[in-house]
Amino acid sequence: AQSVSQHNHHVILSEAASLELGCNYSYGGTVNLFWYVQYPGQHLQLLLKYFSGDPLVKGIKGFEAEFIKSKFSFNLRKPSVQWSDTAEYFCAVNEDNAGNMLTFGGGTRLMVKP
């Protein structure tokens, strides 16, 4: 069974710092990749997704992620974080021939200090 690893469980940054959250998956076939965000008190929301094409994907709120197939990675980046980015971030993977079942990583809790 495939698995998804998010290496950083907790990240603390100051406003305007750059962000990179790591995500690696184990499945060797074709995958679709997602980043979801959960703001305090809110439900999971989609930040961005990759299905095919340009491996650099841009999402909402200035976030982007790069799919590196050779490294089985899909890292999330933002050049300058804001206090409002404080949230928990989840990477998720879907095998291309497995319906739309998502396998999630354990999440990274980001705190941005004003």
Partner 1 sequence: DAGVTQSPTHLIKTRGQQVTLRCSPKSGHDTVSWYQQALGQGPQFIFQYYEEEERQRGNFPDRFSGHQFPNYSSELNVNALLLGDSALYLCASSLFSVRQDTQYFGPGTRLTVL
Q: Which has the closest alpha carbon to 61: 30, 39, 91, 29?
A: 39
> Is position 104 an interface residue for partner 1 (rule: CB under 8 A)?
yes
d(Cα 12, Cα 28) in Å, to the nearest integer? 32
36 or 63: whose CB is closer to partner 1? 36
Residue type for 21, please?
L
| Cα-to-chain-centroid distance, residue 9 | 13
- Cα–Cα distance between 28 and 9 in angstroms, integer? 25
For residues 72 and 94, which CB has a smaller minimum distance to partner 1 in the complex?
94
**Hey, which residues between 7 and 26 contact partner 1 (CB under 8 A)?**
none
Whether the CB-CB separation of 54 and 67 falls below 8 Å is answered with no
Positions in 81-100 near partner 1 (CB under 8 A): 90, 92, 94, 96, 98-100
CB 13 within 8 A of CB 98: no
Residues 43-62, one symbol each (x = binds partner 1 by CB under 8 A, - = not), give xxxx--x-x-----------
List the one residue from 21, 35, 57, 105 that touches partner 1 (CB under 8 A): 105
Q: Which residues bind partner 1 (CB under 8 A)?
A: 1, 4, 6, 32, 36, 42-46, 49, 51, 90, 92, 94, 96, 98-107
